[in-house]
Structure 1
Amino acid sequence: MAAVPTRDELRAHLVRTMIAGDVATPRQNNLLHYRRMAARNPYYLFGLDLKPGWTEREILRVMIERCGVAPDPLHLYGDDTIDPELTIGALEAMGDRIGLAAQRGERVVLATGHPATLTPVYQAVAQALAERGCPILTPAAGWTYEIEGSFGAEPRRIVYTPEGVAMLEGEDGRTHHTHDAAPMEAMLAELAAATTPAEGSRELERNSWPDLAIADHGWAGAAGQAGIDTVGFADCNDPALFAGADEGKIDVVVPLDDGVSPHHYAPLTAYLLNRAGLD
């Protein structure tokens, strides 16, 4: 475990590693994703049923407020920005919610669409919560569906790390990036089936339903849409989760570049666990 940085040290680290500050995500890519979300392209909605009225202008507004992208609407090309103060503030809010889950012994699901980069963050959180007695739920392991790949249909299945972090695996045995909400929807469908009340019962048995989801991309969107308390991470080209937070469907979204080398997230992870009281 990395040493816990001070707030100023974490801020400097985020900027130095380009997790926040001037990031490598092209502005033109951000604007393209905002446009596609405004057109309600399902791939860019992350499983969220967002209200009508999310125009490109409104999406840019919320991304300025919650992520810290460059506010100039005429900034069309080049790199974009993430405000490190917003990153740290949201990380602290995430830590507070995770800490509450630990105190309550809540049931938690964890999942990532960025297994190549963010997995160590989720693994550390899952292990810390499990050590405090939180059940880490692992529904629908092995559930399979198909995506449209470059050479036709490609199967994907839900797999879990030993700590209980869900991700997608292909036929090649490698984990894969995904925006899809379908895997989390499948996980929740299995959990919902396990919470069906017995005939004549007036109350829903909640033993299997999650209290908290810690996730990103469509994993987070589907959980928030289902009414589960959801905290997660999102890049500046992933506007749906920030819009979901604006609508109150997602509790916390930490803005960061989600594609840097995994070891660079270690100080962020240490800060998060310390904030949650889990270090």
Structure 2
Amino acid sequence: MVSVGAMRAHLLAARLAGVVATSREESLRSYRLFAARDPRMTIGIDPERTWGQRDLIGLMADKCGVSSDPRVTSGQDVIDPERTLAALDAFAGRIADVAQRGAPVLIGTGHPHRLLGFYAALADALSAAGCAVLTPAHGRCVDITTRFGLRTYNLDYVRGVAFVRDADAVGDGRATGAHTHSPLPVRVALEAAADACGVLPGLVIGDHGWVCGAGQLGFEAIGLADTDDPALFVGEAEGVVSVVVPLDDAVRSDYYRPLTRYVLNRACLSQ
């Protein structure tokens, strides 16, 4: 069991919260792009209201604990560990609910190098609890526009967790795939799930476009997000996304293991 105190200490020691690696410059650039409705930053969310940069700074200060002063334009961002802990508890609550209902789940990540193990442990626990962990559109091609132009990826699954890998990569489960913010993979997966047998997820778990794309389509979605990912927090503020946990989403993969234990314990799914 991971206590609240131990979890808080770990968040700070691993720099998952507190002073994080994400810079203020990176975050402000993301807010500017989101305010301009750049799809690289909206990643599947279609906001109902107008979000200017100052609005986004205020939102992220409230949700994450970053500085609310627009005159602060440099340095490292700060995430309030108390906000992370509160969101982890809410995240665990949604995991517990879907486990109690035995509803199907879809899990996907745009950060497979860092977060695959975290999500895979959730998939294992939910499967053991009787939830079907869906793997629709396995092997399907997904064309995603990147800064290098249009790239073709394949949708793949490892231990029930979806991600994309380069189309020419061998699908042997060893390479962890590509980093992406795109909502296209979750749209392809959900369309395939509907076409194949009509079994749709009662909950989508993930990050980046997996959460935003699913939430915008009306599916309950929960996930993790860094301070330069305003789309998920806007989705949460507008009721499109259920829960977002503020933390650094690109630290060493083993640093997320205590979060897994904490969430599963809070969800009464510890194994």
- Structure 1 length as normaliser, TM-score? 0.91
Report the residue type matching 2:114 in the other structure. T
Which residue is equivalent to 1:233? 224
How far apart in 1 are the matches of 2:187 and 2:146? 21
Once the two structures are aligned, what percentage of the paired residues are identical? 44
How far apart in 2 are the matches of 1:230 and 1:29? 25
Alignment match of 2:255 (pick from 249, 254, 264): 264
How far apart in 1 are the matches of 2:86 and 2:61? 15
Is 1:178 the counterpart of 2:169 in the alignment?
A: no
Which residue is equivalent to 1:25? 22
Which residue is equivalent to 2:160? 164
Query: 1:152: how far off?
Result: 4.6
Query: 1:150: how far off?
Result: 6.2
Query: 1:151: how far off?
Result: 5.5
Aligned counterparts, 1:1-279, within 5 A: 4-148=1-145, 152-161=149-158, 163-170=159-166, 171-173=168-170, 174=175, 175-194=177-196, 208-279=199-270
Change (3 A) 1:232 1:152: closer
How far apart in 2 are the matches of 1:152 and 1:71? 35
Query: 1:52: how far off?
Result: 3.3
The 3-state SS of whatever aligns with 1:60 is helix
Query: 1:48: how far off?
Result: 1.0
Q: Is the 8 A contact 2:93 2:266 kept in 1?
A: yes
Q: Deviations over 1:112-146 (max 9, x none)?
A: 00001011110000000000110011111111123
How many pairs are equivalent? Answer: 264
How far apart in 2 are the matches of 1:84 and 1:151? 36
Query: 1:242: how far off?
Result: 0.1
User: Alignment RMSD, CA only?
Assistant: 1.3
How far apart in 2 are the matches of 1:150 and 1:179? 12
The 3-state SS of whatever aligns with 2:21 is strand
Change (3 A) 1:182 1:142: same
Report the residue type matching 2:264 in the other structure. L
Q: Deviations over 1:49-71 (max 9, x none)?
A: 11231111111111011111122
The 3-state SS of whatever aligns with 1:145 is strand
Q: Deviations over 1:11-30 (max 9, x none)?
A: 01101110001101010000
Q: Is the 8 A contact 2:204 2:219 kept in 1?
A: yes
Query: 1:154: how far off?
Result: 2.6
How far apart in 2 are the matches of 1:5 and 1:239? 29
Structure 2: give runs of 5+ residues left out of the alignment.
none
